Structure 1
Amino acid sequence: MASRRRRSTLLAATAAGALLTVLGSSTTATAAVRTYPIAPGITVNVRTGPGTGYSVVRVLPVGSRVPIYCQTPGTTVTGYYGTTNIWDNVSNGEFVSDAYVNSGSDGYVADRCA
């Protein structure tokens, strides 16, 4: 009986450790995503794809910050922070031109989107 109890305790501890490892990993990955401010004093369109020809799904209000999960080339846009063809994936399938995001870089600040 004691041996069975020991095995049950060991199994429960192993399962709890595995769960903590998985949760810790996803928390770490989420924490790695940084947010960046959009251009001051203006609103910015969020689109369904990396270009001006894609539909606008919402508008970011003045003073917003956006997470950048990945970046991809698209339509070239001239905006507050210059001219660029880099588009920031700010959520699942929603993009903002990097010309309106203060990412502090002339290049990619996140991995390129797959």
Structure 2
Amino acid sequence: MTTQDHRDDYLDLDAIVGSLDDSADASTAGDADGTAPAARAALHHSSYATAPGYRLKVRQGPGTDTPVVRRLAEGARIQIRCQTRGQRVSGPYGTSNIWDNIAPGEYVSDAYVRTGSSGMVTQSCMN
């Protein structure tokens, strides 16, 4: 994937969020962190690249002490359903205690996912 491809990913996301912001009304007032629910929904369906050169372990919970349920293919893209805080992990994209839920009972460390942010990019998981 080229640098231009990454720029295109961000431009597409900016266009989606921008169009949602333009159409926001009182029923889509921002959440506590200032993100409109419609924008969160758009982000929820975004696809993110995992770190190149890794077959990322998918775990049953937000920590390395939970069982591995499967491995992702190298270069896989994921959709993040929600995010939660768990064990702090260091990876190619920094050190983070954020874990991305990609399916029921399936979590990957955000330190191995290129979200373009050091914080959460979607809603918190309801535990």
- TM-score, normalised with respect to structure 2: 0.64
Q: Is 2:14 aligned against 1:36? A: no
Change (3 A) 1:63 1:73: same
Q: Is 2:62 aligned against 1:50? A: yes
Q: Give distance in 2, aligned partners of 1:42 and 1:31.
A: 24
Structure 1: which 4+ aligned runs deviate by more than 3 Å? 29-32
Q: Is 2:114 aligned against 1:89? A: no
Counterpart of 2:96, as a letter, is T
Unaligned runs of 5+ in 1: 1-28
- TM-score, normalised with respect to structure 1: 0.71
Note if contact 2:48-2:79 (Cα within 8 Å) is conserved in structure 1.
yes
Output one character per residue of 1:16-65: Cα deviation in whole Å (capped at 9) or x when no partner.
xxxxxxxxxxxxx6995111000011111000000000000000111100
**Backbone CA RMSD of aligned residues:** 1.6
Q: Is 2:112 aligned against 1:100? A: yes
Q: Give distance in 1, aligned partners of 2:105 and 2:81.
A: 10
If you compute each CA radius of gyration, which structure gives the higher value, 1 or 2? 1
